[in-house]
Amino acid sequence: MKTYTVAILGATGAVGQEMLKILEERNFPVGKLIPLASKRSAGKTLKFKGEDIVIQEACDEAFEGVDIVLGAAENDIAEQFALSIVRSGAVFVDNSSAFRLDPDVPLVVPEVNPEDVQRAYGIISNPNCSTIITVTAVNALNRIAPIKSMTVSTYQAVSGAGAGGPVELMNEVEALRNGESYEPKVFSHQIAYNLIPQIGSEQFLGYTSEEMKMQNEGRKIMHLPELAVSCTCVRVPVIRSHSISVSCHFDVPVTVEQVREAIANAPGCRLVDDLKNKEYPMPLDTTDQDIVYVGRIRPDLTDPNGICLWCCGDQVRKGAATNAIQIAELVVEKLEA
């Protein structure tokens, strides 16, 4: 079996650490692993397949001889090293938002548009976490009839803000229990026992950058250039796994039975939809795995051509690390074809 030299840019972060775990779980053909991080982390070690691997400082020369680079760093780091990665001959699977809307860069969810990997020339973008979970859930509906528009609300876990998110939530809960005050550092307001209806900065007509990703990225992934999305993104006091409420609107009627059958057979999805027995997708059930759970399927009472659903998925795994590695698996298929 052919193996590949794989670098992880941002290996010490939450997504980078998850990538290490998933590379091992999925038995990705890693011949050599190169974890890359900042200068302050260089020289430290991390575990991969039971071995201690030394972290190297990310620099332009670090990508020589690398086949695939998994990006788990912020936009500025991705932009800083993208040219060096491509010049070295590696394929850059980037989890940042730096290149997602570049028309020359494929934006891929393997269950939805795997064929787009074939037109990659050096960089492939991994979509936003909520977008990945949502399009994985609704793509089966799009195969029944093209989706014209969606009304979406996301309920995003605190770990989506990075490793400090869960720490801040737990510290606030502890402080409140003891009658103490706690000054938020990660979030703009107290997140314990609260909801914050803003993720990202204002971008367009009162919509935030996070909210516009659902429309802009969804159009590109599902090849629906006219798709209209109205989205509200909310930070909720949940540790892990994002939840999304979606109302899909079509040009023709789509039945609940059609949708349930499509979801039950959709790659990457699990139908969990039994209201009578209190069975529906929840963050606790979807944490630390890669399937998007879909349920609460019902007609939209405001639109005869509409369907409502609720879905949940682990935003660190399927919403980031796993999706990137699935893309890398498609890259390997392309290289070996």
Q: Which residues does the annotation mark as catalytic?
A: 129, 242
Closest by Cα among 291, 332, 314 to 93 = 332
Q: Largest alpha-carbon pair distance within the chain?
A: 63
DSSP bridge pairs for 249: 149, 306
Closest by Cα among 43, 55, 39 to 7 = 55
Handedness of CA 31, 22, 72, 323 (dihedral sign): positive
Question: In sequence order, which ranges of the chain are alpha helices (DSSP H)?
Answer: 14-25, 75-88, 129-144, 164-177, 209-222, 256-264, 283-286, 322-336
Q: Cβ–Cβ contacts within 10 Å for residue 177, how many?
A: 9
- 3-state SS class at 205: coil
Pairing of strands 242-250, 269-271: unpaired
Taking CA atoms, 101 is separated from 42, 96, 111, 147, 330, in Å, by: 32, 11, 19, 20, 20
CA–CA separation, 266 vs 138, rounded Å? 9
DSSP bridge pairs for 70: 8, 93
Q: Cβ–Cβ contacts within 10 Å for residue 62, how many?
A: 19
Tell me how far apart the terminal alpha carbons of the chain are, to the nearest angstrom. 14
Angle between helices 209-222 and 129-144 (to 10 degrees): 40
Length of the chain: 337
**What are the φ/ψ torsions at residue 12 (nearest 5 degrees)?**
-90, -10
